[in-house]
Structure 1
Amino acid sequence: MGKTVVIKCGGSVLSDLSSAFFTSLQAMYAQGMNIVLVHGGGPEIGQMLKRLQVHSEFVNGLRKTTKEVLDVVEMILAGKVNKQLVALLQQHGLPAVGISGLDAGLLEAAPIDFMKLGYVGEVVDVNAAFIHQLLQLRYIPVISPLGADKNGQKYNINADTAAGAVAKAIKATQLLFVTDVPGILRDGAVVERATVEAIEQMIKDGVITGGMIPKVKAALAALSESLHEVMIVSGKTSFYQNGNWYGTTIQSEVGVY
């Protein structure tokens, strides 16, 4: 099998994905790359909770998930958002299959801290064989970040965490975080490459601020022995063209592994 790339699309950028984004995916697919998409859906979930008047709050950046909130999360992630993304890929000639972490026991989960967060889970196991089967058939799996424990109890999983776990399990060669900017910016210019140490320094210096901080922290957490670099790219412009990648590459320091 060719190079495998996991792409995480946050809920906030899904409505802004440009035709250039799909052109990049088409180029990757045409070159024989295996593509796996993991998506979020925070804004859509928030809107629906508000509409249904279901109370919701955030604890340490994660949505506290009661049974009522979990029902809405499942409806939006596995239903609306997942199928919208699948339809967009199909529209651009890319054969996509929409699944959630519940299908074929894809994401086995356990509660992070039930007292504080309710049904918010962390990934304890990934059915990598199922993803590999879909990739061998040249499908693009589109995964919504829900999981379940061995008793069938469902959990809401942070999309960044789910993408990192999937990338590690299937031994992906690259993990991309799609944002609304072309990468990490310093003085208006894209930082093309950065080590873990450099990223931590940029956070201290205030170069990386606001919503970019959790994104780079998720990128750092995803680095592993099998995944030496993670990219932050834009969903509004082309991020792959003529064999070249455009965005910020975050890499483990040379010689760490």
Structure 2
Amino acid sequence: MRCIINPKNFVLKCGGSTLTGLPITFFQELKRLQDEGFSPVIVHGGGPAISNTLTKLNIETEFIDGLRVTTNEVLDVVEMVLSGKMNKEIVRKIQMSGAITLGLSGVDGDLLEAEPVHNVNQIGYVGDIKKVNSELILNLIDAGYIPVIAPVGIDKNGQRYNVNADTAAGAVASHLGVRQMIVVTDVPGIMKEENGEKEVLPNITAQEIEEMIHSGEIFGGMIPKVRAAMKCIQGDVQEVLIVNGAEPNVLTKVLKGENIGTRITK
């Protein structure tokens, strides 16, 4: 196995609908960074698109502790949406900027080896990441591709698993030796009200986030965003940045160490 710690490798985690809705300038920036020697790796989700497709197919779905109960019937839809429609839409967007991209799921090349997070009888085929085939990712980077990964895992017996995108992104970043991960959203970061005005918190710890949720300072749709970001902090990943993908040159600013978005640390 090669030494895989490379300061110019970076992992982006983004919801599928957020990523496909970003302006073309975001994807042009990805291409420019790649030309400058940086190596982006993208892990995407697609929860809303999965829910919409399940509704159209009249397949019932429910959540337990924030995880989608995933029967074989639901799993077929998860794989179809994530590895198919959503993954390829993102690939097309990036390739329109001139970059060379390859979309794949965790099933391809045993990229994401998974194991069940709970008793299958309770939650269905929901997985956690046991191992990442980092060599495959590095080979794609060496060949000039931007890997775009859909979080569907597989075990040694060929069983597929629905994997939380934040969990998958954190595992990929950790196995690549990335200490900092970028979570691209549609908000500028975690907001706090000061003197009647909302300001972005530049730095915050996981403990402080939980305290702000308890006090009501973080509420509504921001709660799942920040808790998802906290899930990305694992292994070698020491900090996660929440940034607005619509911000001009947002990735360049992050990689240069500029104060942008919210930095969540262990």
TM-score of the alignment, normalized to the shorter chain, above 0.5: yes
Whether 1:135 aligns to 2:141 is yes
- Contact conserved, 2:202 with 2:259, CA < 8 A, in 1? no
- The count of residues paired between Structure 1 and Structure 2 equals 252
1:222 is aligned to 232
1:255 is aligned to none
Q: Which runs of 4+ in 1 moved over 4 A?
A: none
- Following TM superposition, by how much is the alpha carbon of 1:95 offset from its aligned partner in structure 2, in angstroms? 1.4
1:186 is aligned to 192
Helix, strand or coil at the partner of 2:263? strand
- Contact conserved, 2:171 with 2:234, CA < 8 A, in 1? no
- Following TM superposition, by how much is the alpha carbon of 1:183 offset from its aligned partner in structure 2, in angstroms? 1.0
Whether 1:160 aligns to 2:170 is no
- Separation in structure 2 between the aligned mates of residue 167 and residue 64 of structure 1, nearest angstrom: 26
Structure 1: state its 5+ residue gaps. Answer: 253-257
User: Normalised by the size of structure 1, how large is the TM-score?
Assistant: 0.91
- Contact conserved, 1:4 with 1:174, CA < 8 A, in 2? no
2:183 is aligned to 177
- 1:113-171, CA deviations, whole angstroms, 9 ceiling, x for partnerless residues? 21221011111111111111111222110000001110001111111111011111111
| Identity %, equivalent residues | 48
- Following TM superposition, by how much is the alpha carbon of 1:214 offset from its aligned partner in structure 2, in angstroms? 2.6
- Following TM superposition, by how much is the alpha carbon of 1:245 offset from its aligned partner in structure 2, in angstroms? 6.0
1:28 is aligned to 33
1:83 is aligned to 88
- Separation in structure 1 between the aligned mates of residue 78 and residue 69 of structure 2, nearest angstrom: 11
User: Normalised by the size of structure 2, how large is the TM-score?
Assistant: 0.88
Aligned pairs for 1:1-257 within 5 A: 1-113=6-118, 114-187=120-193, 188-224=198-234, 226-238=236-248, 239-241=250-252, 243=256, 244=258, 246-252=260-266
Larger displacement relative to structure 2 (157-166 or 221-230): 221-230
What's the C-alpha RMSD, in Å, of the aligned pairs? 1.8
- Separation in structure 1 between the aligned mates of residue 150 and residue 51 of structure 2, nearest angstrom: 16
Task: Tell me which amino acid in the other structure corresponds to 1:240.
Answer: L
Structure 2: state its 5+ residue gaps. Answer: 1-5
- Contact conserved, 2:20 with 2:89, CA < 8 A, in 1? no
- Following TM superposition, by how much is the alpha carbon of 1:179 offset from its aligned partner in structure 2, in angstroms? 1.2
